[in-house]
Every structure is written in C-alpha cells, then in structure tokens.
Structure 1
Amino acid sequence: MQRLALFFGALALMLAGAGSYLVANLIANYIETSTKNAANLVLSEEGLDWITLRVDGISVSVSGAAPTESARFKALIALKRVINADQIVDSIAVVEPDDLHPPKFSLELLRNGDGISLIGLIPETTGSASILGAIEGIDGKTDVTDMLETTDFPAPEGWSEAVDFALASLRSLPRSKISVAPGQVTITAISNSRAEKARIETELEDARPDGVALVSNISAPRPVITPFSLRLIKDDLGTRFDSCSADTAAARDRILAAARKAGMADTTDCTIGLGAPTPHWADAVDLAIAALNELGGGSVTFSDADISIVAPDSLGQNQFDLIIHNLEQALPEVFSVHAILPPKPALEGTAVKSEAFEFLVTKSPEGLVQMRGRSRDERTKTAINNFAKALFGSENVHDTTRIDSAIPDGWPVRVLTGIEALSKLHHGSLLVTQTMLELRGTADKEEAKTEVTQLLSDKLGENSYYQMFVNYEEALNKAALLPSPEECVVRINTILAEKQIDFAPSSTRIEGEAVEIVDKIAAAMTDCDEVAMEIGGHTDSQGRETMNLTLSQARAEAVLDALLRREILTTYLTAKGYGEIRPIADNKTEAGRKANRRIEFTLIVNDDPSDTGGEPETDAPATATEGADTQTETAPKTTTKESDKNGQD
C-alpha cells in the first residue's frame, strides 16, 4: 500500500512538471509571435521593408542592409516603440554608397490643348526648376502639371543631351508625348497633314544631337480623296502608276502586289485616304490590273466606281471582248467598265484621214503660255482665253486660236479641262483632238500626277480617252526649298546684326539709314510671308510708363506699315508695344538704355492669324533686335499710327 502511494505521488509530480513545461512553451511562443507581429506592423507603417527580424524568446535580432545611417537609426527608433531596448540585438549593416545601384531615370513630357504635364524621376542636377524654366513661354495660356521626382544621383551619360533635345522639340509639337531616357528620345505626335508630317520628321532628324537615338511616330490624318482615283499604264516604257489610291494599308499592299505582277518594277507607293466608293476597292483594282496584264498593255483608270480601260491597238477584237466580259462578271456590283479598243494603225502607203481639229497649248519653264487651235465661236474663244489668263496671268498668255463653227460637241469642256490640268505642271504641253487628250510635262509637286488624274477622270468622264506623260523634279519644288520659320527669323537677325534701325527721339518715322535696313528685311521676307511673327516695340524706363507704352506700340506699327508698303504680306504679322516692362539691359546706364530701346521680331508659336485676342504666344529665344535710339525716350503727345503714315519711309 505504501509503494502504491509513492508511485502515484511520483506520477503526479511528473505530470505537473510536464504541464508546466508545456504551458511555459505556449507562453513563450505567444510572446515571440506577438512581439514579431507588433514589430512587423511598425516597420510596415514606416516603409522599412528591408529589415529582417528573428525572435528568440525575449531577444529580437534585427538585420538587413540600411541604405543610410539615418535609415538604420529610424528603424531602431520604430522598434523601440513596441520592444524594450535591452531586448533588441542590432545586426543592421549600412550599405556603402558605391554599393547602391543608380535608379532608372526617365522623363515624360505630355502636351495638348489642356496644358503640359511633366512626369518622371530625374537627377537633382537636372532639377524640375530648370525644366520648368525651359518650357516657360511655350504655351502661356495653359497650365503646367509638375509630377517630377528627383534623387541625389549623378546624371547618366547622354541624359542631358536627350533632355535638351526633348525640350526643344516640345516647342514645335503642340500635340505630343515625348519620352526621355539616357541617350534616347521617343516622340509621338499628331500633325495636320502628310506634308507637315514629313517636315516635322526632317526637322527632328536635323536637330537630333550626336549620340542621342531618336524614335519618332508622327501621325497625320488621312486625306479625303475625291474622286477616289487610280491610273495604271503598261506600255513600251514599262508599267507605272500615274495615280494610286487605297482605303487601307492592306488594300495598298494588295494593289502594289498586283501592279508588280503586271510588271511594275519601281517602288511607287499608294496614298491611303478616305472616300473609297466601296469596301471592295482593292478587289476591283486587283481584278482590273490583272485584266490589263492579260490584255498585254494599255491603261486602266478608276474614278470612284467608274473604270476606263484602253487596250493596245494590236489586240484582236474577240480576245478583247472575252477579257472585258470576264472582268465585268468578276467585279463587285457597284463598279462599271468602259473599255476602248483603238483602231489598228493604217498600213504604210494607205491614205489616213488626219485629225480635223486640234487645240495645242504650251507652257514654258518661265510661265509663258501659247495657245493655238480652233474654237467654235467668239464666245467660246473668249471664255477659254479668260480662263487661261486667270490661271497663268494675263501678261503670260498669247492666244492665236481661230474660229471654226464645225467644232464638235464637248470641245470646250475638253479644252478647259486640259488647260486646268496643264496649270498644275511647272511646264509642259497639251494637245486636244477629237479622239484624245494628251498631256506632257514636268511637275514641281510630287502629288501633281495624282491631282491631274483625278481632275481628268472627274471632268472628262469614263468614256474619254487621254494620255499623260508627267515626271516630277524635286529641284523645281519651291515649297520644299522654303525656309523654316526659325530660318526666317535668323535671316532678320543676320541683317540687324550688321546694322540696327534708329528712330529719332520720341519719333516713329522710319527715315535715313533705317529705310535701307527695312528694305533688306522686306527682301529677306519674300518667301517667309506665311510665318507668324510678332513685331514688338520696347523703350527704356525714362519718361512716363503709359507714354512709353504708346510710343512702343506706334513704332511697332510703323515697322509693320513699312513692310506692307513694300508689298510684304502682313496677314501673319502682329505689332505690339511693351513699353519699358521688358528690359534686356540696365536702365541706369546710357548703354543699357540704348539696348532697351529696340524693335524685336519674335516667332509666334500659335500661328493662327485669326487669333487676335490676348497677348500672342511667342518663342522667346527666336528674336531679332532691330534698333535703338541714342537719346532719352519720352513719348510724343500727338504721335499716332495715322499721324505718321505720311512720313518718309
């Protein structure tokens, strides 16, 4: 009995010990978990995700790579809010600056009608203030949203050059997104036309700094083509397009592939535009080109849904009928075909009836036009003569046509249409006969052949037969040789750098040496008449502010009037007086006051001449200082624009 009591006593002690151990472990685990959870919560709130915790009983080991000593100190302070300081074992290592990887710098410039937005991470050496200063004045009517962040790392190679190029490009792209990375600029923008798209791409490439890669995506709205036309010729000279239109990129590729199958070897492109008469345009063109190739040559012309085919005169009638019949059966319903098989040429020695009527017009490279041939009556002759003078200029037209009442019906329409087509060429000749209209010459616009094809197809109708031999010479394209707006301002800068305009004290009269300077400026502006510029007048600070403002306005208007009297188009010029509010030098010295008394030509960013409200937006760096007085400025009491119009100029 005594042994049994001892056994149960020992068992009770063992159970009590085991229970105590188990409870102690549970309490320790709870304390460790609670401590770790509380510490992790604090670290998460502080954004200290680089710390690693290990809890062992009441001891908490803290490790990790702190970016700075202050970050390490911040972590320890945060932990001490939930853990006793003597429980923390600090194993945090501070990373040396050389061990930190530089961030990925980027800059996004977004510009539209609502304003300009700046987004990205940039070096502190660049700074948002310098970028804001660079875009100041680009678009004064809209807001700038600054969402830039900076970091204390040196700018990587190619960063500064890319940023400068992007900011300069932003000035000329009112609807654009520009992305900047070290050594690379990506520009996405919208232009108003294909010509403007080509100009923007050329200017961007010319301005691109060495070592900076440019990725450009400039889009242009598709033109409306009316009539929607296409003309393909296959003869001894080869297979070629006079005009090519497509409604989609896929249609363009299909049409060009069909032309290559028919023997076209060059890299002619098709204009993608709006106005196709049916979604099946490419189907019809593909079938018609294949039929032309089967005919062995000739020409095929589309004017909307009307198709005209002229076969070679060597083709047999039965074969011609079969090919045209098969084409008509295969075409989509909306299309109609008018096919012509010219008569075979007469054999040698056989009498040939010559053309009874013809009308010949020639246009020389100098623009002189000579007309000879026949008109039905005096009224028709006068109408043709007046039409030619309206197109080419009265002094350039020499008319030797004669009256013939036997002229067939439709003759005036063919002649007038041909003359209008000839006006689209730089020089060439037009021959109109009873059965054919032939146009030959050289164009100074790349799109001239397409325009002529559309004109002839639209006005002559599908039953008319015409031939066109037109080539394009880029050297004659005046538009391609026109200076850019910036180059126009540089021209004026160059003239004024040699000699400035001087106004007499308190005067707005342009006289003496100033007349010669204005003459030179007018000569430099002959091909810059559509460049929007502001003529700004400025004074020094002597005299009353309101009177100086009046004087500066009158002087700016005097320069504008002087250019107008020299037959310079002033539609895009604006005169504005600023008085003394924009000095460029110290008004406390005579030299400074002389520099401040000036006229400036400034390029207007918003070049809408109809927008006359408010202060024009200007591109400040593109200025030309015109002149300065050598006397103290005081505004005349009675000087106005009207009172000085009779002064010598």
Structure 2
Amino acid sequence: MRLPYSIAVALTFVVAAGLCLIGASFAVKTVEDSSERAVRQALTLAGHEWAEVQSDGLQVILTGMAPDEATRFNALTVAGTEVDTSRVIDEMEVAPTADLAPPRFSAEILRNDSGISIIGLIPASVDRDALIASLQSLDRQAHVADLMESADYPEPQGWDDAIAYAVLALSKLPRAKVSASAGLVKITAIADSPAEKTRLEQELTRAAPPSLRLGLTISAPRPVITPFTLRFLIDETGSRFDACSAQDEAARDRIVAAAQRAGLEGKAKCTIGLGVPSPRWARAAELSIGALQQLGQGSVTISDADITLIARQGTDQPLFDRVVGELENSLPDVFALHAVLPEPEVAATAGPPEFTATRSPEGLVQLRGRVGDETLRDMTDSFARAAFGSDAVHTATRIAPDLPADWPVRVLAGLEALSHLHNGAVTVTPETVVLNGVTHDEDARAEIARLLSDKLGEAQDFTLSITYEPPPEPEDTQPDPEVCEAQIVEVQKGSKIAFEPGSATVASDSLDTLNQIADILRECGPIRLEIQGHTDSQGREEMNQQLSQARAQSILNELRARRVPTSSFAAVGYGESQPIADNDTEEGREENRRIEFRLLRPDNSGREETGLEALENVDATASEDDAAQQEDNAPKPGAEDQ
C-alpha cells in the first residue's frame, strides 16, 4: 500500500528536521568542549589554576576566587585570547582585602642651642600637648617646634616607654638627636670630654627600661691643645715622651715611629687635638727627635712653633754644631730652633739659688728657699693658698738679693705644675725646674709639660719624674656592671640554680646560691639585667617555653623578696631555643636546664644610620621572627622533667 504523497512529504521533512537537530546538537557540543579545553589550558599556562571554566553553548563562564583585582582582570584577558571576548562571562570573585597594616610610628627629637624640634608620625591617641610640655620643661627659654603628624591607629606596645625615656635622655643631653619608636630608642650626642662620654653612657644605660632596645652613639670632640706641645727625652733610663700632640692619626703614627727609632719602647700616648701651628708639625717633630737621637741624650721640646733642643752636658761640641746646623736647615719655615749645650759645672763656694715646694699625700704644702723680696714672698704665699687651700700651706721662705730676673715666673710656674700632682715636690733653680711626684690623672704629665714650656719660654730646661697611680675607688662607688655579671657567673659555677622537677619552685639546695646572687645585685645597684630561663628539648616546645618563662619570673620574685631593687630587671623565658650542650645525653640536658643573668647592653656601633632606618631594620627583623613563630610546632615524643 502506497502512502499518500502528502504524508510522504511530511515524513521526509520530519526525518530531515530530526537529523538537523542531531547534527546541530553535536556541533554545539563540539564547540563547547573545544572552547572549554582551550580556555582552561590557556589559564593553566598563565598560572591561574584557581579559575574554573564552564561552557554553556557559545558562552564560556569563568568562576573562582581571584587573589586580587589585577589577577582577575588578567584571567579575563587570557580567556579572551582563545574565544571571542563577547562569549566570556565573568562570574569570578576577588578575595577580600586584608586590613591595612598600621604605619610605623616614630619620632625624632633634636635638641641644641637653637631649641628643640620634634618630627615624625605618632598615634592620634597620644596627648600631643603633654608631650610638647614635657619637652618645653627641659628648657623654659627654648623654642619647641612641633612638626609631628598623627594617624588614627592604636599605640604599639612599648611606645610610651620609648617616648618617656627619650625625654629623660634629652634632660641629660643639651646637644643630642634622639630617635624613638615602639621598643627602640637611638641616641646620637656629643660629650664635652671622654670622661663625660663614659659617665653619660653609664647613666643612660642604667636608666633605660629593660624592655627597651637602646642604641648609643656618644662622641667626645677632639680637645683644643694650647700650646700645641711635644716633649721627648733620652737619658740613662731610656727614651720617653713627657708630652705628645698630633693633629691627626697619620701625624701621630709618624711621630711615634720616629720616637721608636730613637729607642722608645712600649706604647706611646699621643693626644690628637686641634690647634696645630702648622700642617707640617709631624715633619718638624720627626726631624727634632732624629736630631736628639744623633746627640745621644738630652731633651727636645716643641711648643707651638718654638723648638728647644737641650743636649746632655758634656756632648761633643763639633757633633752638637753639626746636628744643630742640619736641623736648622731642614725644619719647615714656620719653626724656630733654640739649641742649648750646657756649660760644664764649675765648683763654687756658695750654693746656687733654689726654691722648693713639697706637697704631702695628705695635701699639706711647705714652701722653702729663696725669694727676691717681700712682695714676691707674699705673692708666692697667696698663690699657694689659692691653689692648695689656705689651711694647707706653710711658708718658710727667706729673702735673698741678686736672684735672676725671671725668678718670680719660674717659682709661680713650678707651684702651678705642683698643683697638678696628688703629692710630690718641685725644685726651682736658675738653670732648670725639676718636678717629681704622683698623679691620679693619666694626662697630667702632658699637661705639665705644656704648662712649663709655655711659662718658662724659649731655651729653658725642665725635668719631670711623674708616676701615675689610679685614683682609689670611693667607698660608696657601685661596682662596674660587667664585674657584677662576672661575679654572678662565678657563683653559678660553684652551684647552679635548680628547680623542683617540672615546676618553677626553686629547689631548697639552691636557696644559698640565690642568696649570694642577691647580695651581689644589691651592691650593683640599678643595672639593666635580663633573667633568662632555659630548658632542654624534652617535651613540647610550647610547654618548654612556658616553663622557662615561669622559672625566670620565679627568680625575679625571689630577688624581690630579698629586697633587691628589680625595676630595671626583666624575666624572659627562651625555652629550648638556646642550648649550650647536646640534648641527646642526660649530661647535656642537665646543662641546658639553667638560669642565666645577662646585662642588657646598648648598641654602640659607629655605623651612620638615621633613626627611621634603624626602626625599619628592627621592624623587618621582628616581622621575620613573628612569621617564624607562626609555623606549626610538631609535638615531640617523650617528656621528662625539665
């Protein structure tokens, strides 16, 4: 039976439509798969593994969490290189932005004769008016320039301590720059002398809170030397300097080398200072010392541009003339030479004029010998009483005629030189001034040589025999912090501080050791000290850290109970992080379980660094430490009593 024509045509269209639908579906599926594969491969090659790709017909849908907006946009661009951008549907999300890190708060304070200025970034919660008032209280007449900016973030830990200490430090330093941030203060200052520098370093170090990192750069300027003096002698005992001055290190080295060639042994102290009369000072000194070396014995004194060369009595006249002539022709133009060859002694019936002053260790002074008239006797007595004290001087001088014209100058110069000694004697004759005695000042010999060369004038001889002895320590002087630290180490070598197993309670056998340490610390006064607790590596690291902190705090509490001032002490637990022996043996673990007392010393490095640079360096280190502490701590097998 044949189908009607109309039905056959309809069936043909239905079959054709079905075949077209099947072909279209297959084509769409092929396009979807190929587009999805191409886009996914391109994103993977570009490092966007986080992005998910899904095809929906001709559309390519991108999903996933982009780390930031720039990465999301880059992913869209990569997808657009594989398919038409109009087909790319963006359904990606961007990870929420982390809270902005707080800024680095810091303040730099400058104080000098012009006033006080403070610049930097401080937290908005800081009482700005109170801070300016505290700076103004340092000098009511000074102008305080406020150049600070503020930011509305919480105050970092240690900020208040740093600012309070910065103000305290400036109260002791009229010329200084102080850079302060949370937990860190750096001080750059100038002291008037090396002794003042040492005193300031000790005071500032003791006054700093133990939690504060401290950097000190205090310099003492070169002294102004007047007159600029050098005195070198060669006698039966050897070669030595009475005084040595140089304008810089290179000149000092040249002068010392010349002295060593002339027989100087050991170290020579040569003061570097300002006031040199000529840049060729070192050359003049080298030539003068070399001339004295050729003569064999004698002395050479250079006071500013005047050179006095005194040969030993009995020196060969032709040798003296030749050496002096060569020296005169070789000296730089500025310098003038006065050469003296003493005449042989002639027997005389009458003794030479002489004036003598002695000073006893108790400070009593006796004046004997000859003076020209009543006026000079009164002047000598008054000068001595002003120098040594009215009740300490006994005068027994006598008036004698026919004394040299410069006798008053020589006598008064001798008394002034004697005043630089703790005890000793000075003898004045027409030919020389002889001073001998003991001093507690290392620079006294050089000071006296400068004084006599200036007062006595050209071509005058003097002899110094001065012994340096360190000054006795005052009875109430606190020992040096390093000595205290060493004494505590010695005590612990004999008997270490031990604890009850697994606790922070001090063992009864260690109480005597703790008492000895307390006695030492009471004598030491307010030193900056860190009490450190350490454990071995048995047990979990976190528990070891907590135990070491508890033990360090326990020692601090025990010291307080023994009336030791602990305001400048800090208790810090280091856990197992600083072993001093092998933790694989019982003996090593026993050594690692310990309490240590360590001084907190300032950083005195001479490297130039601004306060803000120092803060950045320290903060960077702190960030690295914080990151390290956030790493997972794997539990450790076994747990023994620490």
TM-score relative to the length of structure 1? 0.52
Deviations 1:167-217 (A, max 9, x none): 321222233211236665332224455654444334334434557554434
Identify the residue that residue 267 of structure 2 maps to in structure 1.
266
Contact 2:105–2:122 (8 Å) recurs in 1: yes
Contact 1:362–1:371 (8 Å) recurs in 2: yes
How far apart are 1:147 and its partner, in Å?
Answer: 1.8
User: Are residues 471 and 151 of structure 1, via their aligned partners in 2, closer, same or farther at CA, if it must alter by over 3 Å?
Assistant: farther
SS at match of 1:230: strand
Identify the residue that residue 108 of structure 1 maps to in structure 2.
108
Contact 1:239–1:265 (8 Å) recurs in 2: no
Counterpart check, 1:180 vs 2:176: no
Distance 1:155 1:434 in 2: 75
User: Which residues of 2 match residues 357-396 of structure 1 at below 5 A?
Assistant: 357-396=353-392
Kindly provide the amino acid, as one letter, of the partner of residue 92 in structure 1.
V
Distance 1:333 1:363 in 2: 43
Kindly provide the amino acid, as one letter, of the partner of residue 466 in structure 1.
F
Which consecutive unaligned segments of at least 5 residues does structure 1 have?
Answer: 1-56, 68-85, 483-649
Identify the residue that residue 501 of structure 1 maps to in structure 2.
none
User: Are residues 230 and 145 of structure 1, via their aligned partners in 2, closer, same or farther at CA, if it must alter by over 3 Å?
Assistant: same
Contact 1:233–1:298 (8 Å) recurs in 2: yes
TM-score relative to the length of structure 2? 0.52
Q: Say what the alpha-carbon RMSD is for the aligned residues.
A: 4.4
Kindly provide the amino acid, as one letter, of the partner of residue 373 in structure 1.
G
Q: 1:92 aligns with which of 91, 94, 108?
A: 94
How far apart are 1:113 and its partner, in Å?
Answer: 4.6
How far apart are 1:245 and its partner, in Å?
Answer: 2.6
How far apart are 1:466 and its partner, in Å?
Answer: 0.5
SS at match of 2:413: helix
Identify the residue that residue 247 of structure 1 maps to in structure 2.
247
Counterpart check, 1:147 vs 2:155: no
Contact 1:127–1:150 (8 Å) recurs in 2: no
Contact 1:439–1:469 (8 Å) recurs in 2: yes
Contact 2:120–2:147 (8 Å) recurs in 1: no
User: Which residues of 2 match residues 60-459 of structure 1 at below 5 A?
Assistant: 65=68, 91-96=93-98, 106-113=106-113, 115-121=115-121, 135=135, 137-141=137-141, 142-150=143-151, 152=153, 155=156, 162-180=162-180, 184-192=184-192, 196-210=196-210, 214-220=214-220, 222-262=222-262, 263-266=264-267, 268-274=269-275, 276-313=276-313, 315-342=315-342, 355-459=351-455
Contact 1:114–1:143 (8 Å) recurs in 2: no
Distance 1:110 1:206 in 2: 22
User: Are residues 354 and 257 of structure 1, via their aligned partners in 2, closer, same or farther at CA, if it must alter by over 3 Å?
Assistant: farther
Distance 1:386 1:129 in 2: 56
User: Are residues 266 and 215 of structure 1, via their aligned partners in 2, closer, same or farther at CA, if it must alter by over 3 Å?
Assistant: farther
Contact 1:128–1:148 (8 Å) recurs in 2: no
Distance 1:187 1:90 in 2: 53
Kindly provide the amino acid, as one letter, of the partner of residue 462 in structure 1.
E
User: Are residues 290 and 95 of structure 1, via their aligned partners in 2, closer, same or farther at CA, if it must alter by over 3 Å?
Assistant: farther
Kindly provide the amino acid, as one letter, of the partner of residue 448 in structure 2.
V
How far apart are 1:306 and its partner, in Å?
Answer: 0.8
Contact 1:391–1:420 (8 Å) recurs in 2: yes
Kindly provide the amino acid, as one letter, of the partner of residue 424 in structure 1.
H
Distance 2:107 2:261 in 1: 48
How far apart are 1:379 and its partner, in Å?
Answer: 4.4
How far apart are 1:335 and its partner, in Å?
Answer: 0.8
Distance 1:106 1:443 in 2: 48
User: Are residues 109 and 421 of structure 1, via their aligned partners in 2, closer, same or farther at CA, if it must alter by over 3 Å?
Assistant: same
SS at match of 2:200: helix
SS at match of 2:95: strand
Deviations 1:570-622 (A, max 9, x none): xxxxxxxxxxxxxxxxxxxxxxxxxxxxxxxxxxxxxxxxxxxxxxxxxxxxx
Distance 2:253 2:350 in 1: 44
Structure with the greater relative contact order (CA < 8 A, sep ≥ 6): 1 or 2? 2
Identity %: 43
Identify the residue that residue 499 of structure 2 maps to in structure 1.
none
SS at match of 2:471: helix
How far apart are 1:362 and its partner, in Å?
Answer: 0.7
How far apart are 1:332 and its partner, in Å?
Answer: 0.5
SS at match of 1:119: strand
User: Which residues of 2 match residues 474-553 of structure 1 at below 5 A?
Assistant: 474-475=470-471
Contact 1:338–1:463 (8 Å) recurs in 2: yes
SS at match of 2:94: strand
Identify the residue that residue 643 of structure 1 maps to in structure 2.
none
Counterpart check, 1:465 vs 2:461: yes
User: Which residues of 2 match residues 31-50 of structure 1 at below 5 A?
Assistant: none
Distance 1:257 1:453 in 2: 21
How far apart are 1:447 and its partner, in Å?
Answer: 4.2
User: Which residues of 2 match residues 621-640 of structure 1 at below 5 A?
Assistant: none
Deviations 1:407-428 (A, max 9, x none): 3443333222212222232321
User: Are residues 423 and 133 of structure 1, via their aligned partners in 2, closer, same or farther at CA, if it must alter by over 3 Å?
Assistant: closer
Kindly provide the amino acid, as one letter, of the partner of residue 173 in structure 2.
L
Distance 2:422 2:218 in 1: 30
How far apart are 1:336 and its partner, in Å?
Answer: 1.5
Structure possessing the higher radius of gyration over alpha carbons:
2
Kindly provide the amino acid, as one letter, of the partner of residue 401 in structure 1.
T
Distance 1:181 1:132 in 2: 17
SS at match of 1:453: helix
Distance 2:318 2:337 in 1: 17
SS at match of 1:231: strand
Distance 1:388 1:455 in 2: 17
Kindly provide the amino acid, as one letter, of the partner of residue 452 in structure 1.
I
SS at match of 1:440: strand
